[in-house]
A and B are shown apart, each in its own frame.
Chain A
Amino acid sequence: MPVSPRFDFEEFADKPVRSRRSWDPVVKITHWSIVTAIIANALFTEEGSGAHIWVGYALAAILVLRLLWGLIGPPEARFSAFPPSPRRALGHLRDIRVGKKEVHRSHNPLGALMVYAIWSMLGVIIASGIAMAGPPSTAFLDRAERSGDVSRQLVVEQGGHDDDDEAEGASGEDSVWEEVHETAVNLLYVLIALHIAGVAFETRRSGREILLAMLPGRA
């Protein structure tokens, strides 16, 4: 009978471990929740309304969760995996120029700068929003119910912080916060545009991995 010299070991062929890049569910879900919150507050909620304020608070909670995850999460989600380093970002730019493709376990150095920029901008937006709206609890419930219950009357009697102030011509401090809020939001839109452009560029340069890594279904 014919004797073939080689064994067939395809069944046992080693598969590379975790060659696919993918973010963990916390990173993915917080990312898309923040996207949803930004879209909601940019397009659908009325500025200064209870819904707008609460979406802002929800965004703050999710951002805090992501930052907590940056301390305790799996290795590639931690801050230590993508330190903000202009030097490394310049190195990455050099890599792009000479066409060198390096595999990054976490955000690439340029992407890392973008991440921190977006987070800081969100922080400014949230802080200025809270400075304007204050603790929103009663305002929200009043607006949701519109029933003129006790708490509503309380707010009115106290000359509630939000609407009434604006009606009377916002105090100097508030208009400063408003200025900060709006400027920061506009800067955020610029950052988001850059972020999307960056992802598109990196996708063209190094393949769809970077895009797929943030989509559901590949943990």
Chain B
Amino acid sequence: MQERRRSLERRAVATTFLVILQALATIFFIADVAGDIAEDGWSMHLLVETGATVALLAGVAFGALQLRWLILRARFDETAVAAARGAMSDLVRQRFLDWQLTGAEADVALFALKGFDAAEIAHLRGAASGTTRAQLARIYAKAGVHSQVGLIALIVEDLVDSDAIKPVESKTQGNNG
């Protein structure tokens, strides 16, 4: 998520430079056209040049709008992930309390939720792999599941609103039926 945000930010900076260059080009053309009109009056050539200048101006405005969208999206991304992260930690904390895990078990369970296997967890915590295996077994028993996938599924189940994901058609059919 850091990577994605950074890439959005880089794009925003690059677009800013582009919009500024466009704005500079626009002022050049505006001044040029104004000078020509002041000198020679209107002509077909100047009409076309004025059209190009207006198009450039529209480009600047559009670029600025695009830029706003980019910046707001990068920020939304950041806040949405942060909000989800907060909600997720609340949920996990709640479940661990429900299951009455000990401190060490909660620690192991957290690694398990993140996808590490018993050997990796043992290594990460500097514990014997036999101990970790035993802890995992107790965690599964307390949570009422048989595997790591089951443990993860328990958490995910609370998070995913399957009604919201169903295709629109099946939903309407369901309403009809």
Report the minimum CB–CB distance from A42 to chain B (whole Å): 20
Distance in Å: Cβ of A4 to nearest Cβ of chain B = 3
Q: When each residue 21-58 of chain A gets 1 if its CB lies under 8 Å from chain B and 0 otherwise, what string results?
A: 00011100110010000000000000000000000011
Partner of A1, one of B23, B104, B107: B104
Q: Which chain A residue shows the least CB distance to B96?
A: A7
Q: Is the CB of B26 within 8 A of A61?
A: yes
How many residues in A have their beta carbons less than 8 Å from beta carbons of B?
41
Cβ–Cβ < 8 Å partners of B106 in chain A: 7-8
A68 to B79 Cα, complex, angstroms = 26
CB–CB A74/B93 < 8 A: no
* Interface residue from B28, B78, B102 paired with A17 (Cβ < 8 Å): B78
Q: How far is the CB of A47 from chain B (nearest CB, A)?
A: 19
Interface residues of B in 58-103 (CB under 8 A from A): 60-61, 64-65, 67-68, 71-72, 74-75, 78-79, 82-83, 85-86, 88-89, 92-93, 96, 101-103
**Which chain B residues border A137 with CB–CB below 8 Å?**
28, 31-32, 34-36
Q: Once the chains bind, are A58 and B36 in contact (CB under 8 Å)?
A: no
User: For chains A and B in complex, what number of residue pairs have CB atoms within 8 angstroms?
Assistant: 122
Within the complex, which residue of A13, A69, A134, A136 is in contact with B64, where a contact is CB–CB below 8 Å? A69
CB of B79 within 8 A of CB of A14, answer: no
**Beta-carbon contact of B20 and A24 below 8 Å:** no
B27, A58: Cβ atoms closer than 8 Å = yes
B-side residues, CB < 8 A to A, are 9, 12-13, 16-17, 19-20, 23-24, 26-28, 31-32, 34-36, 38-39, 60-61, 64-65, 67-68, 71-72, 74-75, 78-79, 82-83, 85-86, 88-89, 92-93, 96, 101-104, 106-107, 110
Selected A-B contacts with CB under 8 Å, 27 pairs: A1-B104, A6-B103, A7-B103, A7-B110, A8-B103, A9-B110, A11-B110, A12-B85, A12-B88, A12-B110, A17-B79, A17-B83, A24-B12, A25-B12, A64-B23, A65-B19, A68-B61, A68-B64, A69-B64, A72-B64, A74-B72, A135-B31, A135-B35, A136-B35, A137-B28, A158-B39, A219-B71
Besides the known contacts A62-B24, A65-B20, A135-B32, 11 further A-B residue pairs in the complex with CB atoms under 8 A apart: A4-B103, A14-B85, A14-B89, A18-B75, A18-B78, A18-B79, A25-B12, A58-B24, A61-B24, A61-B26, A65-B64
